[in-house]
Structure 1
Amino acid sequence: MDGKKEIRRRLLGLREKLDGQEWQERTQAAFRRAVSHSWFQAAKTIYCYVDFRGETGTRAIMERAWELGKAVAVPRTCGEEMDFFYIRSLEETAPGNFGVREPDPERCKVADGRDGLVILPGSAFDLRGHRIGYGKGYYDRYLEAHPGLLTMALAFDFQVLEEIPHEPHDRRAQVIVTDRRTVEVR
């Protein structure tokens, strides 16, 4: 089995090769699966990444959440830590660390992290819910500190492998939603 760095490099390379039309079609298919899932429907708060560099798009997920009266919280990193902050629109974000859009902590309230659904980004996932992120461990630490949150990975189907390497501290996704399928791990 390849190591995490090799898998990350290979799958991010495949993701970068998607043209705009294919990215949009795959994102739309994943969006439909995500928002129709019972966990999304029941959640009062959606903790969602802001897509960057070809990640499966999340704008429509956030917009649907707002339409349904749900709270939306997006991440902001500071050093080794990450917190989520409530936003009412993407206008309340600006490029931050790594160029990813982040909320302004002066204008946005920090989310409590007690309950809700976290939409997880990543470079690779496996059928048991293991995840390879981007190597910084932000989501692993956040989920360890907030065990009441449900987790749904969002990815393109080619990012889901049979098995990937993992560490004991890695937090698993409970559900994986792609453009082609929903994998219930729990």
Structure 2
Amino acid sequence: MNNLSDNKKKLREEYRRRRDAFYSQLDTATKGLAFRRPPSPLAKLIEQSDVVALYSAMGSEAPTARLAEYCTEIGKTLAFPAVIGDSPLEFRQVDNIELLETGYQNISEPAADCPVVTPDLIITPMIAFDRSMGRLGQGKGHYDRSFAVHPNATRIGLAWSVQEAENIPMQSHDVTLDMIVTESEIIQRVGMTS
């Protein structure tokens, strides 16, 4: 393994621990209220989008169930990713998140017969982020490949504030985010207007 890969692996381990520790200290009410309604800049981006792609949160990841409800309430087409080998994620339309099935690595995914859609806005999970809009994911590259095939989609990272790192090492295939939303702050790419 090269130094960059080693560094990313160590960062993943450290920030998973931080995220897990932070999440375990939250009471049930706080967990339920976090990310309940999108802050104004994110709400504006959602309103301007037709198809919003979310992820099904696992463990201590920033929750998306309330965002899914919000998108449905305002009439947006909702999509969730399905992992297809090493290909980019396939975003499939889901009318009811209760219909997600257990898929790749026990992550909830849409069924194979759900229609494939092209997202305008992709909300992504992450292990860590930095102020340069760098994102550290699980390390399989699924989202980076997906961002590359959907270059016009706005890329939003959802995370807890404790997931902020000083610097995320970036490789040529890594794609930066347009906005990062935590429970306490919104960070936007310089020059981005929502």
Cα 1:155–1:15 shift into 2, 3 Å: same
Per-residue CA distance 1:42-85 (angstroms, 9 max, x = gap): 22211111101210000000010000000000000021122110
Gaps of 5+ in 1: none
Name the % identity.
Answer: 28
Give SS of 1:161's match: coil
**1:35 Cα deviation after fit:** 6.3
**Which whole-Å CA distance do the structure 1 matches of 2:152 and 2:29 have between them?**
32
State how many pairs are aligned: 183
CA contact (8 A) 2:61 2:159 kept: yes
RCO greater where, 1 or 2, for CA within 8 Å and sep 6 or more?
Answer: 1
Task: Give the aligned CA root-mean-square deviation in angstroms.
Answer: 2.0
CA contact (8 A) 2:35 2:64 kept: no
**1:91 Cα deviation after fit:** 2.1
Corresponding residue of 2:158: 154
**Which whole-Å CA distance do the structure 2 matches of 1:97 and 1:34 have between them?**
31
Letter in 2 for 1:57: P
**Which whole-Å CA distance do the structure 2 matches of 1:64 and 1:33 have between them?**
8
CA contact (8 A) 2:80 2:93 kept: yes
CA contact (8 A) 2:56 2:65 kept: yes
**1:22 Cα deviation after fit:** 4.2
Matches for 1:10-89 after TM superposition, within 5 Å? 10-17=14-21, 18-19=23-24, 21-22=26-27, 25=30, 28-34=33-39, 37=42, 38-81=44-87, 82-89=89-96
| Aligned: 1:122 with 2:129 | no
CA contact (8 A) 2:35 2:66 kept: no
Normalization by structure 2: what TM-score? Answer: 0.87
**1:3 Cα deviation after fit:** 1.2
Q: Among residues 112, 137, 154, which one is paired with 1:133 in the alignment? A: 137
**Which whole-Å CA distance do the structure 2 matches of 1:151 and 1:177 have between them?**
11
Q: Indicate the larger mover: 81-90 or 30-39.
A: 30-39
Corresponding residue of 1:110: 116
**1:30 Cα deviation after fit:** 3.5
**1:36 Cα deviation after fit:** 5.4
Normalization by structure 1: what TM-score? Answer: 0.90
Per-residue CA distance 1:78-132 (angstroms, 9 max, x = gap): 21122110000112211111110000012x100134xx11101110111011111
Cα 1:177–1:165 shift into 2, 3 Å: same
Q: Which is strand-richer, 1 or 2?
A: 1
**Which whole-Å CA distance do the structure 2 matches of 1:8 and 1:23 have between them?**
26
CA contact (8 A) 1:30 1:180 kept: no
**Which whole-Å CA distance do the structure 1 matches of 2:79 and 2:25 have between them?**
27
Gaps of 5+ in 2: none
CA contact (8 A) 1:27 1:179 kept: no
